[in-house]
């Protein structure tokens, strides 16, 4: 059977032709190649945080999500995989990047296969992946892949960058297939693995404890 998989690309790139967005999209495209080779389809949904900057700030202040911000949150919530890409600012991800993950529910990324990617002006910041992005996404319980990509300005002039992108894309694509009902080349029963691998999107009203059990847990 075929199943449509969805990959969300969250990019905090700011300029019109942003290398951060370009990097995120390139990883998605590489993953998509792997998924399609297995006879499945990958929908790529790019979330540009630049367009949501005002909405995210408003939400910080009021807790009310604008329709565009809610759409973005829902897209990530329902995705099968995530590429999270940020420019490096002052030795870390940008404030805008953090803002998006600040307004997302604690459990929204649980077990979500995730690739981290960052860009920067100098190769000396390459540890931003492991000192800033990985801890944040690990806190959110995302399944952060061991391979990530840091691309400095000079990397855009080397074919090596594409090789790294392809390598990361391949590992993400394989993860996505492993979690999909179609299975990864039948090497194991993906359907059986699915409940563990794929997150369940939680409905907060579906599991409200019966009041008697709430009462039983306190004094009377």
Q: Which residues bind another protein (CB under 8 A)?
A: 57-58, 60-67, 204-205, 208-212, 214-215, 217-220
Paired tokens of 92: 């870390």
Burial of 170 (0-12, 13-18, 19+ CB in 10 A): middle
Tell me the closest approach of the beta carbon of residue 65 to another protein, in angstroms: 8
Q: Which residue, 127 or 214, is less far from another protein as judged by CB?
A: 214
Question: Which one, 57 or 162, has the nearer CB to another protein?
Answer: 57
Place of tokens 């855009």: 156
Beta-ladder partners of 4: 41
Tally the residues of the chain.
Answer: 220
CB nearer to another protein: pick between 43 and 200: 200
Minimum separation from the CB atom of position 10 to another protein (A):
22
Of 181 and 209, which CB lies nearer to another protein in the complex structure? 209
Output phi, psi for 42, to 5 deg: -115, 115
In the complex, minimum distance from the CB of residue 141 to another protein, in angstroms, rounded to a whole number? 19
Task: Please spell the DSSP secondary structure of 32-85, one letter per residue.
Answer: HHHHHHTT-EEEEEEEEHHHHHHHHHHHHHH-PPPHHHHHHHHHHHH-SEEEEE
> By C-beta, is 17 or 204 nearer to another protein?
204
- Least distance between another protein and beta carbon 54 (Å): 8
**Sign of the CA dihedral 66, 67, 70, 72?**
negative
> Are the beta carbons of 51 and 68 closer than 8 angstroms?
yes
């Amino acid at each position: 059977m075929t199943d449509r998989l969805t990959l969300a690309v969250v990019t905090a790139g700011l300029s019109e032709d942003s290398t951060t967005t370009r990097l995120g999209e390139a990883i998605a495209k590489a993953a998509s190649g792997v998924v399609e080779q297995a006879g499945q389809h990958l929908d790529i949904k790019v979330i540009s945080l630049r367009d949501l900057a005002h909405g995210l700030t408003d939400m910080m202040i009021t807790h009310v999500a604008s329709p565009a911000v809610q759409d973005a949150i829902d897209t990530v919530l329902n995705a099968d995989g995530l590429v999270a890409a940020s420019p490096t600012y002052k030795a870390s991800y940008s404030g805008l990047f953090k803002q998006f993950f600040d307004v997302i529910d604690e459990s929204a990324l649980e077990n979500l296969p995730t690739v981290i990617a960052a860009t920067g002006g100098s190769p000396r910041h390459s540890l931003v992946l492991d000192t800033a992005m990985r801890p944040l996404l690990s806190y959110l319980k995302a399944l952060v892949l061991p391979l990530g990509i840091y691309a400095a300005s000079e990397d855009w002039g080397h074919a090596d960058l594409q090789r790294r992108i392809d390598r990361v894309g391949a590992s993400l694509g394989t993860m996505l297939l492993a979690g999909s009902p179609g299975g990864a080349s039948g090497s194991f029963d993906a359907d059986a693995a699915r409940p563990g691998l794929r997150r369940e999107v939680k409905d907060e009203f579906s599991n409200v404890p019966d009041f008697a059990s709430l009462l039983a847990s306190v004094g009377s």
